[in-house]
Structure 1
Amino acid sequence: MTIAHWVVGDGPALLLVHAGVADARMWARQVDELSQDHRVITLDLRGYGETPLEPAAKYSDAGDLIAVLDELGVDTVEAVGASYGGYVVQQAASRHPERFSRLVLLCAPTDGVVPTDDLRAVWGEEEQLLEANDVDGATDLMVRSFIGPDASDEARELLRTMQKRAYDVQLAAGDVDNEEWPVEPEKITAPVRLVTGAHDFAWFGNCAAYLAERLPNAELVELPWAGHLPTLERPAEALGLVLVR
């Protein structure tokens, strides 16, 4: 399986891993500026964007991430993960801490924290819509739920396009076996910036607080304006979250 990925620019390697409602296109507004002094790597995880998902596939998103770095000859990398992408980054950094020099986790889930009732309700509604083959309804639900009030119409439409693509690919593949590597915060030695949004589901803030207590070197940043996807909601301002200032 070839994981679709793109490399732009020269300098220290910087890996951007997309959210579970998106794909690599979510970083489009940041890549040009980041690539002025970084070698920026974006990718589509299996079942997203341009990376297919084979029926009954057995794989690991975290393993795929490490395989892409190996293919590119990247020994150490700064990594930015949004939402589910942040969870994949945690898995990879727990098993291979020496490969990561710095992490930025944007509204990311983690192991060991119980989901809140409001998020469970959205997941339940999503499941009902998909069981009724209402993919458009499920897509609209995700857009309403996972992008904050400051997002432009353009950003909302991009999110709708990315989520619809993910549903189309994943529903066609059916059940798959994605091995999740354990997240062990105490083993992640790189400095970690944890970002949360005031308009996001409380669970993601709970996850950031949990990680902040356990990571050896963590910084917690709370954004009063943000929902779940700050880099889509305020693209220019979000550069400050990714870069070392």
Structure 2
Amino acid sequence: MTTELIPVAGGSHIWAEKAGDGPPLVLLHGSVHDSRLWNRVFAALARHHTVVRFDARGHGRSTLPTAPFRYGDDLLAVLDRFGFQTAGLVGLSMGGEVALDFTLEHPERVGSLTLIAASAGGHEWSQSPELDEYAAAHRASDARRIAELELRVWASLGDRAPGYDVIEPMVRENSEVGAAAEKGHALNPDEDAVDRLDRIKVTTMVVLGDHDHPEISVIARRLADGIPGARLEVVADADHCLPLRAPGRLLELLLGSDGFVDRRGGRSNR
């Protein structure tokens, strides 16, 4: 395994880790997560792929933004730094949204797409007291409240389910800086992904935990219905932090007998 600090626009740096050999696979985490989200699958994936995980700008060991930036541009910098002309993208939540937008903008750089508990640009979320409270905490950059709500709403299986020993400190640490990073992200409202799903031509799998928030289920089915040929998988005993809650099933989906990604980055014929 090797680690790198990758320079990106505005004088910031992205921390990245690479391991293994084979077709490139890049892992993207959620909004108050970092690369620890993939702790329970990274080594196994590296037995089949050149796999890269990285901390999004302002998360984990990456530096905070000093100017407006785009997560997709940072992903492009990661691909270029490691010399990946194409790569499979596996993104969770915000990371799924980034992967989706990147696939629409740079289709020639994406070999396959796995969207886990993904958000999607242009999707109008239903209103609820807990989501309103969550949005208010982000607007106020209230790190303590963000962490509390994140653990209650998005890690709903709690501390008795697998992975909580990673989830709890990861969420609390990134709640301190994640809100500031997201406020630096430059969005383009004219480029909503949900209006362009039919343009995605790469093999796509949409993955959903059966204990995730109901709105994530709505988005997952919208993505599966809208992306040509997309496959929808519902994973038992998993909430929004699916790679830490159900790593074995996720690995089966990516690599196993009903595996999604073969050694060329396409759908397996096994």
TM-score higher than 0.5: yes
Partners of 2:83 and 2:203 in 1: how far apart? 22
Q: CA RMSD in A?
A: 2.4
Residue 115 of structure 1 aligns with an amino acid whose one-letter code is W
**CA contact 2:151–2:158 (8 Å) conserved in 1:** no
Alignment of 1:4-83 (within 5 A): 4-55=15-66, 57-83=67-93
How far apart are 1:79 and its partner, in Å? 1.0
Alignment of 1:89-168 (within 5 A): 89-118=99-128, 121-129=129-137, 135-149=143-157, 152=160, 155-168=163-176
Q: How many residues matched?
A: 242
Bigger relative contact order, structure 1 or 2, given CA contacts below 8 A and separation 6+?
A: 1
- Segments of 5+ residues of structure 2 without an aligned counterpart are 1-11, 260-270
How far apart are 1:129 and its partner, in Å? 4.9
How far apart are 1:167 and its partner, in Å? 2.3
**CA contact 1:151–1:234 (8 Å) conserved in 2:** no
**CA contact 2:122–2:192 (8 Å) conserved in 1:** no
Partners of 2:138 and 2:21 in 1: how far apart? 42
Are 1:2 and 2:10 matched, yes or no? no
SS in 1 for 2:174: helix
SS in 1 for 2:39: helix
Partners of 2:121 and 2:76 in 1: how far apart? 20
Partners of 2:180 and 2:92 in 1: how far apart? 25
Residue 58 of structure 1 aligns with an amino acid whose one-letter code is P
Farther off after superposition, 192-201 or 121-130: 121-130
The Cα offsets for residues 183-242 of structure 1, whole Å up to 9 and x where unpaired, read as 232222111111112221221111122122221220011234322122111222221233
Aligned with residue 169 of structure 1, among 177, 186, 189? 177
Shift of the 219–130 alpha-carbon distance from structure 1 to 2, 3 Å rule, reads closer
Partners of 2:217 and 2:23 in 1: how far apart? 30
How far apart are 1:128 and its partner, in Å? 4.8
Shift of the 65–182 alpha-carbon distance from structure 1 to 2, 3 Å rule, reads farther
Partners of 2:185 and 2:49 in 1: how far apart? 34
Aligned to 1:215: 227
TM-score (norm 1): 0.88
TM-score (norm 2): 0.80
Shift of the 115–132 alpha-carbon distance from structure 1 to 2, 3 Å rule, reads closer
Shift of the 131–208 alpha-carbon distance from structure 1 to 2, 3 Å rule, reads closer
Aligned to 1:200: 212
SS in 1 for 2:120: coil
Residue 51 of structure 2 aligns with an amino acid whose one-letter code is V
Partners of 2:180 and 2:130 in 1: how far apart? 22
Residue 215 of structure 1 aligns with an amino acid whose one-letter code is I
Aligned with residue 231 of structure 1, among 243, 252, 259? 243
Partners of 2:140 and 2:57 in 1: how far apart? 24
Aligned to 2:263: none
Aligned to 2:8: none
How far apart are 1:134 and its partner, in Å? 5.5
- Percent of residue pairs bearing the same amino acid type: 29
